[in-house]
């Protein structure tokens, strides 16, 4: 279970441009399920995922992950949790240009200190899983939108995370690719992964693979 208790996140605290992204969010997220966060831009979906995914600390409130309080953990531990527990799929995909598809998939695992050959084998397996084995040595900028999306998913999975976090994953995809993406998410959920997706795309939150939809507005949960 992931539990958030009265979590607040304020940016630029005390400055004229102070902005409250989360205004006291309390929520329990069940593991092994797919949860979608929907709401308009600026509703706090992305910030909520950042806080849950150990990317940002809340300004106030508590976050518990698998019965462990993580809010007060030092940076180093948060990074380790982020690397080992979460896999991230970003809205802009954030693949690193100029290097190969295979290297992009391996990036999150480099700091683990595993043998290169083992790491490479695992990354190739993941690429094969997403029918990208033939593109392993291609540079990411040569891939189509759908292929790049699947590379981003493979990268998110390389460290065997139990939770997948996707922020507006279908923002740059057409309907067919969006449906394909949700199919992959459902498949991963069926394999035991917890899926957290922030999106305002109906293809996502109306997808049959989504178990829970959390609606947000102005930094708060409305339903």
Partner 1 sequence: MRILEKQKNLVDFTLSSLLRRKGKNTALLVVYTFMIFLLASVMFFTGSIKKEAALVLEGAPEITVQRLVAGRHDLIPAAYLEAVREIRGVRSAAPRLWGYYYDFTSGANFTLMVDESLKDSPGVVHVGSGVLRTLMSPEHGTIPIKASDGSFHFFEIHHVFPAESDLVASDLVLMCEQDYRKVFSIPDGFATDLVLEVRNPKELTTIAGKITQLLPDTRPILRDEILRTYEAVFDWRGGVLVVILWGSVLAFVIFAWDKATGLSAEEKREIGVLKAVGWETSDVLVMKFWEGMIISLSSFLTGVVLAYLHVFFSSSVLFEPVLKGWSVLYPDFRLTPFIDGTQLAGLFFLTVVPYTVTTIVPSWRAAVIEPDSVMR
**Residues making contact with partner 1 (CB under 8 A):** 46-47, 49-50, 55-56, 75-76, 79-80, 82-84, 88, 90-92, 94, 96-100, 103, 106-116, 119, 155, 159, 167
Counting Cβ atoms within 10 Å, is residue 151 exposed (0-12), middle (13-18) or buried (19+)? buried
CB of 59 to partner 1, least distance (A): 13
Nearer Cβ to partner 1 (115/191): 115
| Helices marked H in 86-174 | 101-106, 116-129, 145-157
Q: Between the CA of residue 103 and those of 57, 85, 109, what are the distances in Å? A: 30, 21, 10
Nearer Cβ to partner 1 (15/115): 115
Question: Residue for token digits 């030092």?
Answer: 74
Answer yes or no: are the C-beta atoms of 27 and 39 closer than 8 Å. no
Nearer Cβ to partner 1 (11/190): 11
CB of 30 to partner 1, least distance (A): 23
CB of 51 to partner 1, least distance (A): 8
Nearer Cβ to partner 1 (92/131): 92
- Those residues with Cβ within 8 angstroms of residue 80's Cβ, 6 or more apart along the chain or in another chain: none
CB of 211 to partner 1, least distance (A): 23
Query: How many Cα atoms sit within 13 Å of 46 on the Cβ side?
Result: 11
Nearer Cβ to partner 1 (17/223): 17
Element (H, E) at 180: helix 175-190
CB of 2 to partner 1, least distance (A): 17
């Amino acid at each position: 279970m992931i539990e958030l208790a009265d979590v607040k996140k304020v940016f630029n605290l005390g400055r004229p441009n102070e902005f409250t992204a989360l205004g006291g969010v309390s929520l329990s997220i069940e593991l092994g399920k797919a949860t979608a966060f929907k709401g308009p831009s600026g509703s706090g979906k992305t910030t909520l995922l950042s806080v849950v995914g150990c990317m940002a600390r809340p300004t106030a409130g508590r976050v518990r992950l698998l019965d462990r309080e993580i809010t007060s953990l030092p940076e180093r531990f948060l990074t380790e949790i982020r690397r080992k527990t979460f896999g991230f799929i970003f809205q802009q995909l954030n693949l690193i240009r100029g290097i190969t598809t295979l290297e992009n998939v391996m990036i999150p695992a480099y700091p683990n200190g595993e043998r290169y050959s083992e790491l490479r084998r695992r990354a190739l397996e993941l690429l094969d899983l997403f029918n990208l084995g033939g593109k392993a040595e291609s540079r990411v900028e040569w891939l189509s939108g759908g292929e790049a999306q699947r590379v981003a998913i493979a990268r998110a999975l390389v460290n065997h995370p139990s939770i997948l976090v996707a922020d507006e994953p279908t923002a740059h995809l057409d309907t067919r690719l969006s449906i394909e993406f949700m199919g992959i998410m459902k498949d991963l959920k069926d394999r035991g992964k917890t899926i957290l997706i922030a999106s305002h795309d109906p293809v996502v939150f109306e997808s049959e693979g989504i178990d829970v939809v959390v609606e947000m507005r102005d930094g708060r949960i409305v339903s």
